[in-house]
A and B are shown apart, each in its own frame.
Chain A
Amino acid sequence: MLISEKNHRMNRNKEILYSIINFLNQYFFSFIFSTTFILVILSGLFLGIGIEQSTASRQIFFNVSPWPIYLLLSVLTGLLVFGVIRHGSLWAIGKPFNDWRINIPWRVQNTVRLGVMQDKVRRDKFASVMHWCISSSIIVLTFVTAQVAIEDDTPLHFLNGNYYLFFSFYGDLFGLIGLIGVSMALYRRYYDDFHRIRWDERVEDHLILWGLFIILISGFFVESYRISITELENFPEWAKWSFVSYVLAQFNGIFDFSEELLLNMHTISWWIHVLVVFFWLTLIVFTKLDHFLFAPINAFLLRTDSPGRLSRIENIEEQEVFGVGQIQDFNWKQLFELDACVRCGRCTEVCPANLAGQPLSPMHLIQDLKSHFNEVAPLVQEAGNNGDDVRAVASRSMVGEVIKEETLWACRTCGACVQECPVMIEHVPSIVDMRRFLVMDEAKIPQTAQAALENLEMRGHPWKGTALERTTWMEGLGDVPIFDGTQEFLYWVGCSGSLVERNLPITKKVFSLIQASGTSFGVLGQEETCNGDPARRLGNEYLYQILAEQLIDTFKQKNVQKVITNCPHCFNTFKNEYPQFDGKFEVLHHTQFLEQAINDGKLEPKKSVDLDITYHDSCYLGRINNEYDAPRNILKSIPGLNIIEMDRTMSKGLCCGAGGGNMWQEEIGARRVNHVRSEEAIDTGADELISNCPFCIQMFEDGIPSVEPNEDGRIKPFDIAEVLYHSIDSSQEDN
């Protein structure tokens, strides 16, 4: 599924539509606020109009009897209970997940923000408006129906007078809003260009949509017949409040139906309405509609620590299985979120591997796991109950057959799927868990990645065959201070910063800039070793733990407190992952340090750099560590520099293709990710492509010439430190 956004160029009509949608998305902050807001404003207006106290009311359950509703309701409740117990008992085959007990206030906040207020849904503006219309309509109309039931079957009576008129009004309003939402959904499902929601289309998708359509339409018809019969002539002033049905009732008037016919039509449409409602509600148990329950719960279960932190395998040497090889090796949260997936395709739409036509679609991965789970979980449960071998029940191996090895290796761990998922599924940790099984349990790993891992084991860095030493970059820099515990900062160069030719100038410039800022710092030189990040991303948790523990020891021995890193991957590892091993240090990426130095006046970009540049957010600084501003502030501080953003930028930025250990893998698929991203950079027409990560720079050095063979005026990749260096007054460099 190759998706080129160019195919999605909107025509003019669409542009107008989308500008309205943009407006609504921006100003209709969220589901709960806007729904409440509308109701409050309306009731205020209503009271403000100051109409006379009305005696309006109507006969509840006019022309029909309520018993079928209660019968159906009890069946539905039974089904819902059955559904929850069935699901729940299957999730229980998973491993324990105890994190949900920590950070409860944060989790509650997530539930409200991501579950109720639907923050993630709103990342797609069209869907934001559509989903708001549908969900608020369903909630308000359920509330409307509940009031009818209370009025009819409890001693409480309140559906009369002015409230009855208001009730009629907002009932119709939200019915109409619901229809608008359903129309938008119908447009997407049947008329829009090839759309992600059709990548895995099922019968239930049509049932849900048309069911809702019929419910809303039939609801209006039922009301219109009642109005025709009871209100149109006698109480036209009341009828107008049900403004949609009122219009429909006028049409009934045109045809001059007999009262008997109207009564019959009322009965028929009421039955259709009620039966479809209950049919639709039962879909909650059997289809993706369950997301209205599972999405807020999954928001509660969402991690509260950094998305850049992979789980630690405790007591790794005592494990029977390393990583996740079978469905029951996942923890129950990972199983739960399989059920939350609604197949919206947002994850796949932004997945760099998928964009390049490589064999990974996060949505299909989750769906494949889900159907495997549905097939195998009952067997696992049964085997567990009978005391049989639970590892022998699956007829197909999950890792290898259900989920192909190349699918797992294509993941960049860039987090774009996790970022977009509106039901808060975390794909990346599950993918890495399965990689762990492949690498540690089965020793199955792509040849080139294996070479990188072996090199890590033997030589402490992933760059097999490098002719450089860890100290080569120091040549020509004079006295390079070695960190001895007395300096404030450790400048961590990293393997890529010292052992890959292209990155040496970057390292030199970061060094010179730190020096020019007058900061007390030192480097480790020959004593640097890999911090283990590639091993962890490639699934060799054992090797990662060995490397991490060694390095944490070294840091502690040398009294390291603050670290400046060249590379966002080292940054992420030190900042988010070392605390798991009791290595707590203050960590800055070089862009953060340099921004601070500029703010403090220690560095002053004076020389004008008259260039058009575009800025590429590396995944591990941007999306995963939420640092979009520091690098942009540096760029803005450089006189003459003109920043052109790419279409995909900031949290929607596209990976360069190197993440998740793909720096050391051969790519399988139609294209390479770095070619896709290089094209996007070339399309800006900028002179330079600025990034902050040695991997990104290497990927672009390789990708740009591949997609643009003509050297004249071709965009060139540089690190942000290289641009800043040019702008710093040369007299400072000698300090």
Chain B
Amino acid sequence: MHFVICAKQIPDPDTPPSAFKIDETKNEVVPAPGISPVLSQFDGIAAEAALRIKEKVGDVKITVISLGKESAQAAIKQVLAMGADEGLLLEDDAFENGDHYTTALVLSEAIKKLGDVDAVFCGRQAADWDMGQVGLGIAQLLEMPCAIIGKDVDISDGKMTVQRVLLDGFETVEMPLPAVVTVSNELGEPRYPKLQQIMQAAKKTVNKWSLADFENLEATQVGEQGRKLKLEKLFIPASDSEVEIIEGESAQEQASALVSRLKDAKIL
């Protein structure tokens, strides 16, 4: 079998708030100095899901694909170290500044070009924009079934079984292969790679495809030109919070004062 993991490199979500800056004239996030971009955490979990199945089933090739800049090699290597077999970087100036649609389009074309893919694993959402669209987009464009926000994924007898996280519980869905799944953090932490694997991953060459490698794609369809979503304004929301200390002689008094304040504020 052949699995694909889609991995995105994002600005570090652990950037201290004071270092997070936005250029409002360009509608862009200004990279924080000295803070390197990281693999989106959900994509690491998607890789974990794929690797668990590989451990169980055995004969599986895993390709990790990332659409991004040269620096995204680090994210690909990280997944390779975890145990993926091949890396593929989709890099072209024309791909830059795209949206969820163009990303899904290029990724789906790449998966098509790989040919024999049985399952695609994505994170439930990228931890920077948190849109959660790309996985579904790939499924749509490839005309594959898709289950989102999975906490448990299994493949057997040509079928993928996904336990999905719902607001009030779980549901289990079964899909014929090939299929797409987006994986949530309930699945568990991504594994810590063995040193042997880290060193093997460091030696592996990551394949690179640019726009020219895709016969079906034109520059106008991808990147900034292909965007279907227009970004009107990017800004850090002002959060004004007031603190009120609730006075009272006793704990009971304070508690009842708190309750009446919460009722006034229509929280209770």
Residue positions of A touching B, CB distance < 8 A? 316-317, 322, 439-443, 445, 447, 450, 453-455, 458-459, 464-470, 472, 526-527, 542
Question: Does any Cβ of A come within 8 Å of B17's Cβ?
Answer: yes
Whether B195 contacts A322 by the Cβ 8 Å rule is yes
For B17, the chain A residues whose CB sits under 8 A away are 467
Q: Are A442 and B16 interface neighbours, CB within 8 A?
A: no
B192 touches A443 (CB 8 A): yes
B193 at the interface (CB under 8 A from A): yes
* Residues on A with beta carbons closer than 8 Å to the beta carbon of B192: 439, 443, 445, 450, 453-454
B33 surroundings in chain A (CB, below 8 A)? 526
Interchain nearest-CB distance for B186 vs A (Å): 15
Chain B residues within an 8 Å CB radius of A442: 194
Q: Which residues of A contact B191 (CB under 8 A)?
A: 443
Question: Which residue in A316, A441, A447, A468 is a CB contact (below 8 Å) of B16?
Answer: A468
- B196 CB–A CB distance under 8 Å: yes
List chain A residues, Cβ under 8 A from B115: none
Q: Tell me whether A447 and B14 are in contact in the complex, defined as CB-CB below 8 angstroms, given that A317-B199, A458-B38, A542-B198 are known contacts.
A: no
Is A472 a contact of B18 with CB atoms below 8 Å?
yes
CB pairs A–B below 8 angstroms (29 shown): A322-B196, A439-B192, A439-B195, A440-B194, A440-B195, A441-B194, A441-B196, A443-B191, A443-B193, A443-B194, A447-B189, A450-B189, A454-B192, A458-B12, A458-B36, A464-B14, A466-B14, A466-B16, A467-B16, A467-B17, A467-B18, A468-B16, A469-B16, A469-B18, A469-B19, A472-B16, A472-B18, A526-B33, A527-B34
- Closest A residue to B199 by CB, please name it: A317
A459 x B194 contact (CB < 8 A): no
CB <8 Å contact, A526 and B194: no
Q: Which residue of B lies closest to A318 (CB)?
A: B199
Complex: A465 Cα to B197 Cα, angstroms: 27
| Interface of B toward A, CB cutoff 8 Å | 12, 14, 16-19, 33-36, 38, 189, 191-199
Residues from chain B with a CB closer than 8 A to the CB of A317 are 199
Q: Give Cα A458 to B18, complex, Å.
A: 19
Q: How far is the CA of A470 from the CA of B17 in the complex (A)?
A: 13
Nearest CB in chain A to that of B196: its residue: A441
Inside 8 A of A455's CB, which chain B residues have their CB? 14
Could you tell me the distance between the alpha carbons of A55 and B252 in the complex, rounded to whole angstroms?
A: 101
What is the CB-to-nearest-CB distance from B196 to chain A, in angstroms, rounded to a whole number?
Answer: 7
What is the total of A-B residue contacts with beta carbons within 8 Å?
Answer: 50
CB distance from A283 to the nearest CB of B (A): 45
Task: Point out the residues of chain B lying under 8 angstroms from A472, CB to CB.
Answer: 16, 18
Not counting A441-B195, A445-B192, a sample of 12 additional A-B residue pairs whose C-beta atoms are within 8 angstroms of each other reads A317-B199, A441-B196, A443-B191, A443-B193, A450-B189, A450-B192, A458-B38, A459-B35, A459-B36, A472-B16, A472-B18, A542-B198
Please indicate the chain B residues that have their CB under 8 angstroms from the CB of A542 in the complex.
Answer: 195, 198
Q: Classify the interface of chain A: helix, strand, loop or mixed.
A: helix
Assembly CA distance A526 to B33 (angstroms): 9
3 nearest interchain CB pairs?
A440-B195, A443-B194, A443-B192
List chain B residues, Cβ under 8 A from A447: 189
A522 to B93, CA, bound (A): 42
Q: Could you tell me if B196 and A459 are in contact, using CB atoms closer than 8 angstroms?
A: no
Closest to B74 in A: A458
A333–chain B nearest beta-carbon distance, Å: 25
Q: Could you say which residues of chain A place their CB within 8 Å of the CB of B196?
A: 322, 441
Closest Cβ neighbor of A540 among chain B residues: B195
- Nearest chain A CB to B87 CB, angstrom units: 18
CB distance from A689 to the nearest CB of B (A): 30
Q: How far is the CA of A458 from the CA of B34 in the complex (A)?
A: 11
Q: Find out whether the CB atom of A465 lies under 8 angstroms from the CB atom of B18.
A: no
Q: A440 to B198: give the CA distance in the assembly, Å.
A: 9
Contacts of B36 in A (CB 8 A): 458-459
Residues of A with C-beta under 8 A to B14: 455, 459, 464-466
Most B CB within 10 A of own CB, among A441, A455, A459, A527? A459
Q: How far is the CA of A101 from the CA of B36 in the complex (A)?
A: 46
Give the chain B neighbours of A440 by CB distance below 8 A: 194-195
Measured CB to CB, the nearest residue on chain A to B18 is A469
A526 to B35, CA, bound (A): 10
Chain B residues near A454: list those with CB within 8 A.
192
Chain A nearest CB, measured from B20 CB (Å): 11
Q: Are A459 and B199 in touch, CB under 8 angstroms?
A: no
A526 touches B34 (CB 8 A): yes
Q: How far is the CB of B204 from chain A (nearest CB, A)?
A: 15
Give chain A nearest CB distance to B134 CB in angstroms: 23
CB nearest to B188 among chain A residues: A447
Q: How far is the CB of A669 from chain B (nearest CB, A)?
A: 23
In the bound complex, do residue A459 and residue B16 qualify as a contact, i.e. CB atoms below 8 Å apart?
no
How distant is A504 from chain B, measured CB to nearest CB, in Å? 13
Contacts of A443 in B (CB 8 A): 191-194, 197
User: Within the complex, which residue of B12, B189, B193, B197 is in contact with A459, where a contact is CB–CB below 8 Å?
Assistant: B12
CA of A453 to CA of B193, assembled, Å: 11
B238 to chain A, nearest CB (A): 18
Bound: A455/B41 CA distance, A:
12
Which residues on A sit within 8 Å (CB–CB) of B19?
469
Please give the distance in Å from A384's CB to the nearest CB on chain B: 24
Q: B198 to chain A: which residues have CB within 8 Å?
A: 542
Which one of A317, A439, A443 has the highest number of Cβ atoms from chain B below 10 Å of its Cβ? A443
Complex: how many Å from CA A527 to CA B34? 8
With CB as the reference atom, state the residue of chain B lying closest to A444: B192
Report chain A residues within 8 Å CB of B189: 447, 450
A525 to chain B, nearest CB (A): 10
Q: How far is the CB of A538 from chain B (nearest CB, A)?
A: 11
Closest Cβ of chain B: how far from A313's Cβ, in Å? 10
Nearest A residue (CB) for B203: A317
Nearest CB of A to B103, in Å: 23
| Complex contacts, B193 vs chain A, CB 8 Å | 443
Q: How far is the CA of A337 from the CA of B17 in the complex (A)?
A: 52
Q: How close is B159's CB to chain A, nearest CB, in angstroms?
A: 30
Residues of B within 8 A of A459 (CB): 12, 14, 35-36
A522 to B32, CA, bound (A): 23
**In the assembly, what is the distance between CA of A322 and CA of B195, in Å?**
8
A465–B189 alpha-carbon span in the complex (Å): 16
In the bound complex, how far is the Cα of B195 from the Cα of A453, in angstroms?
A: 13
Query: Which chain A residues border B35 with CB–CB below 8 Å?
Result: 459
Q: A389 to B36, alpha carbons, bound, how many Å?
A: 44
* Whole-angstrom CA separation of A577 from B17 in the bound complex: 35
Question: Within 8 Å CB of B197, what residues of A?
Answer: 443
CB proximity of B83 to chain A, nearest CB, Å: 10
The smallest C-beta distance from B195 to any residue of chain A, in angstroms, reads 4
Q: Specify which chain B residues have a CB less than 8 angstroms from the CB of A526 in the assembled complex.
A: 33-34
**Complex Cα–Cα for A464 and B17 (A):** 14
Query: How far is B194's CA from A322's CA once the two chains are assembled, in angstroms?
Result: 10
Residues of B within 8 A of A445 (CB): 192
Q: How far is the CB of A681 from chain B (nearest CB, A)?
A: 31
| CB-nearest residue of chain B to A319 | B195
B35, closest chain A residue (CB):
A459
Q: How far is the CB of A149 from chain B (nearest CB, A)?
A: 60
Q: Give the Cβ gap from A301 to chain B, nearest Cβ, in Å.
A: 29
What CA separation (Å) do A440 and B195 show in the bound complex?
5
Q: How far is the CB of B217 from chain A (nearest CB, A)?
A: 33
Q: Please measure, in the bound complex, the distance between the C-alpha atom of A392 and the C-alpha atom of B36, giving whole angstroms.
A: 43
Q: Provide the residues of chain B in CB contact with A441, threshold 8 Å.
A: 194-196
Closest to B37 in A: A458
A534 to chain B, nearest CB (A): 15
Q: How far is the CA of A455 from the CA of B195 in the complex (A)?
A: 16
Bound CA span A455–B12, Å? 11
Q: A58 vs B220: C-alpha distance in the bound complex, in angstroms? A: 117
Q: Once bound together, how far apart are the Cα atoms of A447 and B192, in whole Å?
A: 9
Nearest chain A CB to B197 CB, angstrom units = 8
Closest Cβ of chain A: how far from B192's Cβ, in Å? Answer: 5
Q: Chain B: which residue is nearest A526 at the CB level?
A: B34
CA distance A439 to B18 in the complex (A): 34
| Residue numbers in B under 8 Å from A468 (CB-CB) | 16
Give CA–CA (A472, B18) in the complex, Å: 9
Closest Cβ neighbor of B44 among chain A residues: A454
In Å, the complex CA distance between A201 and B34 comes to 57
Across the interface, which residues of A come within 8 angstroms of B199, CB to CB? Answer: 317
